[in-house]
Amino acid sequence: MISIVMPVKNATPFLKECIDSILSQSFLDWELLAVDDGSTDDSYEVLKYFASKDSRIFVFKNIGKGIINALRVAANNSHGDKITRMDADDIMPKEKLGELSRILDENGQGTLATGKVKYFSNEILGDGFKRYEKWLNKLCETDKHFDHIYFECVIPSPCWMVFAEDFNSCGGFQVDRYPEDYDLCFRYYQKKLTVVSSQKVLHLWRDSPNRASRIDPNYSDHTFLELKVDYFVQLDYKNKQNLVIWGAGKKGKRLAKIFSTKDIPFYWICNNQKKIGQSIYNVELKPVEQICSMIDPMILICVSSPEEVEEITVYMNEKSFKFRENYLFFC
């Protein structure tokens, strides 16, 4: 059986469409564990209505406050041997549960099943969402998601499925750290789960003005960067390597501040002639060419535009630096 965990807060405008898409799944052996997180609209009543019509739907009130607590309540009450997450304003294509379940059955324990996504909105969809969708879907073509985990969250939060045993061994939703989806993704990476992707679009992902990722400070750029740094230091940083920050824009400066606060030594390079020679956080900015004289550096590249990423990748290959061994995109 598949356990679907779903936090719900003020989702009345979208909730019926969301639950109807779950009820329409071609795979029938599932349970929905929906947790109301202090809604002030009719979300709880809508959930109770659907629960009265289908015995596979279970409704709870959140114990505490926030998405992590709501997800924890749902997961703690789940009974399936497989588990997935759903957002209350999104839509499941008809074959989603069956396709993800098939991937797990075919590949066995230690598998993280995912698939392609498509954003939609009642308003104009921003370019950032379009780029993220394109990037995520391209990762599905190679299953090299974890190679790029420091760039952005590589597994869409409502489009994955794992065996419950793997979920629990990774700590599930017992960790109180935001952004919770990215933190869980890092723990899947830490446990060396193998990503296997469907080439089908398995999730319709709604963007709306009130989406938590837009308005909740728990999903600010700073919390993402702090999370990346902590896991990088824990999982991929070798003390003997020369640590280098590439870029002196906002993210480069934030990263430098975090490393300075943690007393982690680093070099700092950029290609902005106006900034080269300046000292920030007691570290002098050097030209990019400085890395060519370094032995075994680990370069954290703080640029995100596709054009810059491509240009820098070509440069690093020309200089015989190896992706992941010598450089990471850290945006």
Q: Tokens standing for 54?
A: 């289908």
Whole-number Cα distances in Å, 7 to 15, 80, 92, 191, 203: 11, 17, 15, 25, 17
Mean pLDDT of the chain: 95
In whole angstroms, how far apart are CA 169 and each of 4, 39, 187, 191?
A: 18, 31, 9, 8
Task: Check residue 214 and give its pLDDT.
Answer: 60
Sequence ranges of the domains in the chain: 2-219, 238-329
Q: For the residues 132-146, what does the mean pLDDT come to?
A: 97
Out of 250-254, 301-305, 324-328, which region has the weakest mean confidence (pLDDT)? 301-305
Q: Per-residue confidence at 219, pLDDT binned at 50, 70, 90? A: confident
Whether the pLDDT of residue 221 is over 80: the answer is no
Say whether 151 sits in a helix, a strand or coil: coil
pLDDT tens per residue, range 232-250:
999 999 888 999 999 999 9
Is it the case that residue 220 has pLDDT exceeding 80?
no
- What is the C-alpha to C-alpha distance for residues 290 and 244, in angstroms, rounded to an integer? 10
Judge whether residue 210 has pLDDT over 90.
no
Please report the pLDDT score of residue 135 as a whole number: 96
Surface-to-core class of residue 189, CB atoms within 10 Å of its CB (0-12 exposed, 13-18 middle, 19+ buried): buried
Mean pLDDT score, 274-296: 95
The phi, psi pair for 228, rounded to 5°, reads -60, -45
Residues in the chain: 331
- CATH 3.40.50.720 is the classification of domain 238-329: yes
Mean of pLDDT values over 269-296: 94
Residue 247 DSSP code = -
pLDDT above 90 for 122: no
% of the chain with per-residue pLDDT over 90:
88
Per-residue pLDDT at 121 exceeds 70: yes
pLDDT of residue 215: 64
| Residue 251 confidence (pLDDT) | 93
Q: Is the pLDDT of residue 208 over 80?
A: no
> How large is the average pLDDT for residues 184-201?
98
Give the pLDDT score at 35: 98
Which region holds residue 134: left if phi is over 0, alpha if psi is between -120 and 50, else beta? alpha
Q: Which of these ranges, 37-46, 181-190, 201-210, has the smallest mean pLDDT?
A: 201-210
> Exposure pattern of 113-125 as b/e (b: 16+ CB <10 Å)?
bbbbbebeeeeee
For position 158, what pLDDT does the model report? 97
> What CATH homologous superfamily does 2-219 map to?
Spore Coat Polysaccharide Biosynthesis Protein SpsA; Chain A (3.90.550.10)
Distance CA 79, CA 129 (A): 34
Distance, in Å, from the CA atom of 203 to the CA atom of 308, rounded to the nearest integer, reads 30
- pLDDT tens digits along 7-63: 999 999 999 999 999 999 999 999 999 999 999 999 999 999 999 999 999 999 999
The tens digit of pLDDT for each residue in 155-182 reads 999 999 999 999 999 999 999 999 999 9
SS3 at position 194? strand
